Amino acid sequence: MTEERNVYSIVTPQIEQLAQLCHKSDIIDSELYTRFDVKRGLRDLNGKGVLTGLTHISKITATKEVNGQTLPEDGELYYRGINVKELIKGSTTENRFAFEEVAYLLLFGQLPNKKELEEFKEALFFYRSLPTGFVRDIIMKAPSKDMMNTLSRSVLTLYSYDDNPDDTSLPNVLRQCMSLIALFPELAIYGYQAYNHYHEGNSLFIHPPRTDLSTAENILYLLRPDSQYTELEAKILDICLILHMEHGGGNNSSFTTHLLSSSLTDTYSVMAAAIGSLKGPRHGGANIKVVRMFEDMENSLSDWTDDDQVREYLEKLLAGEAFDKAGLIYGVGHAVYSKSDPRAQIFKRFVEQMAHEKGYDKEYALYDKVATLAPQIIAEKRRMYKGVSVNVDFYSGFVYKMLGLPMELYTPIFAMARIVGWSAHRMEELANNGKIIRPAYKAIGPDMPYVPMNKRI
């Protein structure tokens, strides 16, 4: 059955014509950015971010100073001063789920002891309960095809169920943040189940959350029709969540969190805005592009093991002649990292393990080949101010594919993790009671006289 088209969604010839006026009046000569020393994207010509704040929460390193020169080095990521590699190593060596433990670290600045962790988990899991009727009245009504929009709408609606939604005191904001950390998996997964039922015609599964499961286990329990999962699947998803939890205050969605928090708006509005930022394909939506790019590559190549065929395809990608014609090799390159993304390095070992268990050895070998060839080809074809390497998105979509997760939930899973980082940054902004963030824009248009209506052409 063909869905009736919404007439209000049609871009009419009139709208097209008016949009051309917008473009004509809004376009800015790129030379002016250089003349006025405007750092587009808040980055200088060498790609270094403009310093706009200070943070305790996390640190990214990608360069070192040698004899007054800044040189690239392997990237490192620290959560509250602790290398994320050590956090992952500790949890895997001691064979435990660590999402909640690392959340405690990011929120409160120190690793919890056993008693503190159990008390925090008990408090966090207490909030795994949506208001009565919320699933029926909010999530099931008008289900969206985009789960990030569903998540954002649900978060904004929770404002109405909060007795103190506008209280920005730290205890109240912490309560709200812990509630959202606990509820994000339900909001996103229930939204997907509604979409999968009402739009795709599949059976509807709504499992109540369990308070005895880790966050990673709970996600798989809620999503799968039979609620079954292996320990390896849950452990690797736990690692995915930890690696996506936080990445400095300067990433787009965390900066959005600081920006809105500085205005003293409510927590629900802040998190909805952060979700909107993360949704973009230049930010959290990149792993979907990686998976689709590889699917196109696999369909285009007659022999995945042939270096020449893979190289030719990658060259076509850069030339804008393959896949989406955007001229990009998705999952390769990062705004900060050059020689390596530590999250991708950590991921690789676990990805290989899961690929072998799930029978994806051939696909993993192709990913490994592209990880080697793509940086070489980009260096040959593009003028670069720094090196490039595969980033975390290069592997995360492949992991989700092997876990059998629907593509509609790839970016929401990122949000399920990053809500912890957003919460930490919101608390930090409010704790320091700083000024409202208000950068400057230079007006460059000429002054114009007012023209009476009867004299306008």
Tens of pLDDT, residues 58-90: 999 987 878 877 788 888 999 999 999 999 999
Are residues 389 and 332 in contact, defined by beta-carbon separation less than 8 angstroms? yes
Are residues 294 and 366 in contact, defined by beta-carbon separation less than 8 angstroms? yes
* Average pLDDT estimate for 45-63: 87
**Cα–Cα dist 146/188, whole Å:** 10
* Average pLDDT estimate for 229-233: 94
pTM recorded for the entire structure = 0.93
Q: Give the tens place of pLDDT for each residue, 337-363.
A: 888 899 999 988 889 999 999 999 999
Task: Assess whether pLDDT exceeds 60 at residue 1.
Answer: no
Are residues 257 and 426 in contact, defined by beta-carbon separation less than 8 angstroms? yes
Task: Assess whether pLDDT exceeds 60 at residue 257.
Answer: yes
The maximal CA–CA distance of the chain, rounded, in angstroms, is 80
Question: What percent of the chain is predicted at pLDDT more than 90?
Answer: 80
pLDDT on residue 3:
61
Average pLDDT of the residues of the chain: 93
Q: What domains are defined for the chain?
A: 84-281+423-432 (1.10.580.10), 286-403 (1.10.230.10)
Among the listed residues 107, 75, 102, 100, the one whose alpha carbon sits nearest the alpha carbon of residue 88:
102
Among the listed residues 307, 303, 333, the one whose alpha carbon sits nearest the alpha carbon of residue 318:
333
Residues noted as catalytic = 334, 393
Instruction: Give the phi and the psi of residue 64 in degrees, each rounded to 5.
Output: -140, 155
